[in-house]
Structure 1
Amino acid sequence: MRLAVCAEMVFLNLSFTERVRRIHDAGFDVEMWDSRTKDLKALKATGAVFSSMTGYTSGSLVDADTADDVVRTAESLIPAALELGVSRMVVHSAELIDGRAAHPLYRSTGRMWSTGVRTLERLGALGEKHSVIFCLENLNTILDHPGIPLARAKDTLALVEAAGHPNVKLMLDLYHAQLGEGNLIELLRTALAHIAEVQVADVPGRCEPGTGEINYAAVAKALADAGYEGTVGMEAWASDGSEAALDAFRAAFTLQDADSIALKGTP
């Protein structure tokens, strides 16, 4: 497994470019959000490997009136992805403004479902043209993202399966899934064939693995046992210093550490 760290959430006292450099120097790939606000040349010069970035800037892929905006803005971000070598572009089932639903909706309809599938098919064709994967990320609607339809992991998985395009996959966020659904290891096994990247943070608090209730040692072992060789990205705040958070993340997803931790408490 490759390990990546979201530069939007650690080393917050540094410039974004310096955050990327610190993450890269520590041996991790880098996740980022809105590329439009970044100095792409400076980021490229760090030598970092960029794992993922936000893949659209407006519209909702489940709204027939604004789905075209999702595809249009996704296409406008392709040059930035190609310049940085980003292979995964992240989308959601609604338009977000500062992490919140731009137009909250609390009930899903069949029309939303069919529109979402068609939009993902269009994104798949765009991704195939430019050799990138569009990843639909699940979100929790209990705490962080109320009013976003078809956002739970089971919904995003069903949409990706229905789209049936090799350039449309899941960004499976286990923090969001734990808040909304739980049963994480079974979810990983069920969704494995459709996962492009797994994101992690602990619950509660959305900080690094080991700060909350999720048994990330067991998660790491389950991924390894299933033969997962993709990326695991830490999209989490640092509870007590960014360096310590990165160390804890690495330890949780280093299989030898995961095995030894999982055996603790065994009679």
Structure 2
Amino acid sequence: MKNQHTRRSMLKNMAGGAAVLTSAMLLPEPLRAAGLKDLKLKGRIKHSVCKWCYKDMPLEELCKAAKGMGLSSIELLGPDEWPMLKKYGLTCAMAWGAEKSLTEGFNNPKYHDELVASYEAMIPKVAAAGLDNLICFSGNRNGMSDEEGLENCAKGLKRLMSTAEKHKVTLSMELLNSKVNHKDYMCDHTKWGVDLAKMIGSDRFKLLYDIYHMQIMEGDVIRTIQEYHPYISHYHTAGVPGRHEIDNTQELYYPAIMRAIVDTGFKGFVGQEFVPASGDPLASLRESIVICDV
């Protein structure tokens, strides 16, 4: 009887705690924001946010908000935008501006000369700005086999490794889903990206592991991170399904994922890349930082 009573009490306490948490997560946005104004971050996760998700917000306004929340980066920005970040003591954890497009990438040799010239010009700029990650893309399959795509990507990217190594800039190929958002994109499974990294054989080529995209394509997120973390330079977040807030309206449990990332010894950035669906995008961003700050 005593054990039954103890178990009953424990379950009651757990249910009460869950109810409190759920109630907090379901507060109207202005009230929720008010409760999250003064964030005291633990420092185990380096927080970033992707500017394109706040396209209607001026960059300077987002810089001020990000700084106030304890973020240290706004990413997916090019050289013309880096000075604004510097003004607010922020960095750009994932730079862009050298790529041709998501669909026209290194898997197609006809783009190699153009891409190599563009990246050769951009890599020194990234380094001079004190940045160390530059995004790249595989491109679409267009009927090409995965094996041929691997060979083509490796051939093109190997041409850039000496420059990347010289300037200590990592080219990070993003893993994207080809099921919902980016039909026919080639680098759509972690194993394919890891095989490419092994073929290239340089620490200056790694993967941008997008948690949202890989949940859609393959699931098994935590085990995949544990197995392949040496090949990952950066992480992105978003809620599944819908690519919106990472709160209790979606299927992933981000605190556990963040703990798994921390446990690998990862020292890079986690970038929030969800598209806010609430009436207060900054409140949603603030909440996402709390959720991920394990």
Q: TM-score, normalised by structure 2?
A: 0.76
Query: 1:198 Cα shift?
Result: 1.2
Q: For 1:69, give the aligned amino acid.
A: E
Tell whether the 8 Å contact from 1:138 to 1:152 is kept in structure 2 after alignment: yes
Structure-2 separation of matches of 1:40 and 1:230: 19
Aligned to 2:161: 124
Inter-CA distance 113–72: structure 2 relative to 1 (3 Å threshold): same
Residue 51 (str. 1) matches residue 93 (str. 2): yes
Partner SS for 2:207: strand
Runs of 5+ consecutive residues of structure 2 not aligned to the other structure = 1-44
Q: Which residue of 2 aligns with 1:231?
A: 269
Separation of aligned partners in 2, 1:24 and 1:84: 19
Q: Partner residue of 1:252?
A: 291
Aligned to 1:193: 230
Task: Return the index of the structure with the highest Cα Rg.
Answer: 2
Q: Identify which range, 163-172 or 60-69, moves more after superposition.
A: 60-69
SS in 2 for 1:172: strand
Once the two structures are TM-superposed, the CA of residue 80 in structure 1 deviates from its matched residue by 4.1
User: Is 1:9 paired with 2:53?
Assistant: yes
Aligned position for 1:67? 112
- Contact kept, 8 Å, 2:77 with 2:92, in 1: the verdict is no
Q: Which TM-score applies when normalising by structure 1?
A: 0.83
Cα RMSD after superposing both structures: 2.1
Distance in 1 (alpha carbons) for counterparts of 2:172 and 2:153 = 13
Give me the whole-angstrom Cα distance separating, in 1, the residues matched to 2:97 and 2:145: 23
Residues 163 and 55 of structure 1, relative CA distance in 2, 3 Å threshold: farther
Change (3 A) 1:202 1:183: same
**Are the equivalent residues in 1 in contact too, given 2:123–2:163 (CA < 8 A)?**
no
Mapped partners of 1:228, 1:154: distance in 2: 19
Unaligned runs of 5+ in 1: 95-100, 256-267
For residues 185-239 of structure 1, the C-alpha deviation after alignment (integer angstroms, 9 at most, x for no partner) is 1110111111111111111111232241111121112223333332111111122
Is the Cα contact below 8 Å between 1:71 and 1:123 reproduced in 2?
Answer: yes
Q: Deviations over 1:30-66 (max 9, x none)?
A: 2433516x44433432221221122523252111111
Name the residue aligned to 1:243: 282
Alpha-carbon distance, 1:135 to partner = 0.6
SS at match of 1:53: coil
Q: Distance in 2 between matches of 1:237 and 1:109?
A: 30
Alpha-carbon spacing, 1:185–1:138, altered in 2? closer, same or farther (3 Å):
same
Q: What aligned pairs does 1:95-106 form with structure 2 within 5 A after superposition?
A: 105-106=142-143
Equivalent residue in structure 2 for 1:183, among 220, 238, 244: 220
Question: What's the CA shift for 1:29?
Answer: 2.6
Whole-angstrom CA distance in 1 between matches of 2:210 and 2:82: 26
Distance change >3 Å, CA 18–CA 193, structure 1 → 2 = same
Secondary structure of the corresponding residue to residue 90 of structure 2? coil
The whole-number CA distance in structure 2 between the counterparts of 1:32 and 1:218 is 24
Correspondence for 1:208 among 209, 221, 245:
245
Partner-residue secondary structure (3-state), 1:62: coil
Which digits, 9 at most, give the CA deviation of each residue in 1:165-184, with x for residues without a partner? 01111111111101111110
Change (3 A) 1:202 1:162: same
Report the Cα distance in structure 2 between the residues aligned to 1:3 and 1:132, rounded to whole angstroms: 20
Residue 19 of structure 1 is matched in structure 2 by 62
CA distance change for structure 1 residues 142 and 86 in 2, over 3 Å: closer, same or farther?
same
Q: After TM superposition, give the deviation of residue 18 of structure 1 in Å.
A: 2.5
Q: Does 1:164 align with 2:201?
A: yes
Partners of 1:127 and 1:133 within 8 A in 2: yes
Considering fraction of residues, name the structure with more helix: 2
Partners of 2:172 and 2:269 in 1: CA distance: 13
